[in-house]
Amino acid sequence: MARKHSKTSLRRKNVQSRVPAKFIIYVEGKNTEPSYLNLLRTNSKVIPHPVEGKGIGSCEQFVETSNKAYNNLSPSERAKYSQKWLMFDYDGHEDFANAIKLAWKYGFRVAFSSMCIEYWFMLHFVDHDGAPIPLQGNSHSQAQINRINRSIKAHNRATGQNVQLYDVDSKKVGEDFFELMMAIDPVTHNRRIIDACNRAKSIHKRKKQDGAEFSESVSNMYELMIELGVVVETNNELSLRNEH
């Protein structure tokens, strides 16, 4: 029988299970990515560095700006970090693929999502096939947000809980939504984050084989989850570290 999810025990076990690596992660947004990473930071000492402004106008410029910021750190400061990452989305930017390759050239690992990071969140609830998702109006993320919120509403109806919907305006990851993504799915009986990692990994692997690694819909956020120690990969199987 699956164990009942407890955010207190889950976090405590994760904190005690390993000495966390310290990553530096430059992110494109000032709300979504930092709020999500801050809720993960009990698993590792992650330092999000949002670039000023609302999103980015150019993916390549974001990479250049982040690389300059990293190189401006003192050698002793850079030595504190075992890995350096960038996190950004396609969001319709034509230079998305070139920017990822440029980031690799500069020695960054990249956690990317196409169309947007909300696709990664959606995969916690929806067994999607990786096909393109039509825009909702002029928004690259609204269709994914709608699917996320339908899942939250279904959870609230089934459990009587009142998990707040994903806020379209702030696009900030709240603690209750984060805990829902970490909880056990009543259908698959897996932690939702494990379902998301497996789904994202399968889609990403297939698209790489097809020469379409960066095309919609895809996210390699599972790679960051593994590197951060949020999940463990053993014999091609994923599990939460404290449940491994």
pTM above 0.85, yes or no: yes
Evaluate whether residue 220 is within a structural domain.
Answer: yes
> What is the per-residue pLDDT for 44?
57
| H or E segment and range at residue 150 | helix 142-159
Rounded to 5°, the CA angle 203-204-206 comes to 65
Q: What is the predicted pLDDT for the residue at 205?
A: 96
Q: Is residue 183 part of a domain?
A: yes
**56 in a domain, yes or no?**
yes
* Residues paired with 192 in a beta bridge: none
What is the C-alpha separation between 208 and 202, in angstroms, rounded?
10
**What distance in Å separates the CA atoms of residue 142 and residue 136, rounded to the nearest whole number?**
6
Q: Is residue 129 part of a domain?
A: yes
Pick the more confident residue, 112 or 31.
Answer: 112
**Which domain covers residue 123, as residue numbers?**
7-243
Residue 15 has pLDDT above 60, yes or no: no
The answer to whether residue 124 is domain-embedded is yes
Residue 49 belongs to a domain = yes
Winning range, highest mean pLDDT, from 34-38, 118-122, 237-241: 118-122
DSSP states of 57-117: S-HHHHHHHHHHHHHTS-HHHHTT-SEEEEEEE-TT-TTHHHHHHHHHHTT-EEEEEES-H
For residue 101, being part of any structural domain is answered with yes
Residue 14 has pLDDT above 60, yes or no: no
Q: What percent of the chain has pLDDT over 70?
A: 85
Report CA-CA distances (Å) from 31 to 47, 65, 162, 175, 234: 14, 19, 22, 13, 33
| Cβ-proximal residues to 57 (8 Å cutoff; 6+ apart), any chain | none
Contacts of 167 by beta carbon, 8 Å cutoff, 6+ apart: 174
Structural domains of the chain, count: 1
| 244 has pLDDT over 80 | no
Which residues are paired to 114 by β-bridges?
218
- In this structure, what are the phi and psi dihedrals at residue 136, rounded to the nearest 5 degrees? -105, 105
Q: Where is 50: in which H helix or E strand?
A: strand 45-50
- Position 1 in a domain: no
Where does residue 55 fall: left (phi above 0), alpha (psi -120 to 50 degrees), or beta otherwise? left
pLDDT tens digits, 96-115: 999 999 999 999 999 999 99
User: Among 15-24, 66-75, 145-154, whose mean pLDDT is lowest?
Assistant: 15-24
Q: pLDDT (tens digit, 9 = 90+) per residue, 159-175?
A: 999 999 998 888 899 99
Residue position matching structure tokens 């992650």 = 46
Range from 34-38, 78-82, 145-149, 234-238 carrying the lowest mean pLDDT: 234-238
